[in-house]
Amino acid sequence: MDASKSRPAPAGGESTVARAGVADFLVRRSRFRPAEALPWIAAIAAFFIFPSQMVLGGQTLIMILFALSLDLILGYAGIVTLGHAAFFGLGAYGASLLITDLGWSEPVSGLLAGALIAAIAGFLSGWLLLRYRGLAFLVLTLSVTIMLQQLGNLFRDFTGGYDGIPGVNVAPLFGRFDYDIYGHTYYLYCLGVLLIVFYCVRRIVYSPFGQALVGIRENIGRMNALGSPVHWRLVVVYTISAAVAGIAGALFAQTNAFVTLGVFDFDQSAAVLIMLILGGAGWLYGGFIGAALYMVLQNELAKASPEFWQFGIGLLLIGVVLFVRRGTLGRVLNVSRLLQARTQP
Partner 1 sequence: MKIAGAFAVALLAFCCFGTADAETIKVGVVLPYSGPMSDLGNQIDKAFGLYIKLHAKDLGDNKIELIKRDEGPPSGANARTVVTELITNDKVKLLTGFVFSPSAIAVAPLVTQVKMPMIIANAGTAWITDLSPYIVRFSFSMWDPAYPMGTYAATKLGCKTAAAGFTDFPPGQDSTLAFKTAFEKAGGKVVDEVRFGPPGPVPDFTPFFQRVKDEHPDCFYVFVPSGAHAAGVMKTYGDLNMRQAGVRLIGPMDLIPDYELAHMSDAAIGLVVMASYSDDLDTAGNQEFVKAWHDAYGPNSYPDFMSAAGMDTMAGIFHVINTLHGNLDDGAKVIDTLKGWKHEGVRGPIEIDPQTRDVIQPERAEEVVKKPDGKLGIKVLETYPAVKDECKVLKLGRCR
Partner 2 sequence: MVNTLVSILFDGLAWAMFLFIVSVGLSVTMGLMGFVNLAHGAFAMAGGYLVLTTMSAWGVPFLGALVITFVVVGAASVLFERVLYARLYGAGELDQVLMTIGLTFMAIATYTYFYGPLTHAIRIPDYLAGQLNLGGRSFPAYRVFLIGVGAALIAALWYGFDRTSLGAKIRASVDNRRMAQSVGIDVDLLFTITFAVGSGLAALGGGLAIQLLGLTPNFAIIYLVFFLLVVAVGGSGSLWGTLAGALVLGMADTAGKYLFSDAGTFAIYAVAVLILLLKPAGLYGRE
Write the DSSP assignment of 186-241 as a string of letters. HHHHHHHHHHHHHHHHHHHHTSHHHHHHHHHHH-HHHHHHTT--HHHHHHHHHHHH
The residues, any chain, with a CB within 8 Å of residue 199's CB and separated by 6 or more, are: none
The residues, any chain, with a CB within 8 Å of residue 322's CB and separated by 6 or more, are: none
In whole angstroms, the minimum distance from the beta carbon of 159 to partner 2 comes to 15
Q: Closer CB to partner 1, residue 190 or residue 213?
A: 190
Among positions 314, 337, 342, 343, the unique one binding partner 2 when judged by CB under 8 A: 314
Binding of partner 2 by 11 (CB under 8 A):
no
Nearest partner of 293 among 307, 309, 276, 305, judged by Cα: 276
Binding of partner 2 by 306 (CB under 8 A):
no
**Cβ(213)–Cβ(76) under 8 Å?**
yes
Among positions 310, 333, 337, 343, the unique one binding partner 2 when judged by CB under 8 A: 310
Task: Determine phi and psi for 259, rounding to 5 degrees.
Answer: -145, 140
What residue 109 binds from partner 2, partner 1, none (CB within 5 to 8 A, per partner kind)? Answer: none
How far, in Å, CA of 176 to CA of 174, rounded?
A: 5
What residue 163 binds from partner 1, partner 2, none (CB within 5 to 8 A, per partner kind)? Answer: partner 1
Binding of partner 2 by 162 (CB under 8 A):
no
Nearest partner of 283 among 338, 233, 245, 225, judged by Cα: 338
How far, in Å, CA of 345 to CA of 30, rounded?
A: 11
Binding of partner 2 by 37 (CB under 8 A):
no
Binding mask 210-249 for partner 2 (x = CB under 8 A): ----------------------------------------
The residues, any chain, with a CB within 8 Å of residue 238's CB and separated by 6 or more, are: 73, 77, 79, 122, 123, 125, 126, 130
Which residues bind to partner 1, rule: CB under 8 A? 52-53, 55-56, 59, 149-150, 153, 156, 161-164, 166-167, 169, 181-183, 252, 256-258, 260, 262-263, 265, 267-268, 299, 302-303, 306-310
Binding of partner 2 by 296 (CB under 8 A):
no
In whole angstroms, the minimum distance from the beta carbon of 198 to partner 1 comes to 22
Q: Closer CB to partner 1, residue 47 or residue 209?
A: 47
Contacts with partner 2 by CB under 8 A lie at 80, 128, 131-133, 135-136, 138-140, 142-144, 146-147, 150, 154, 266, 270, 273-274, 277-278, 281, 307-311, 313-318, 320-322, 325-327
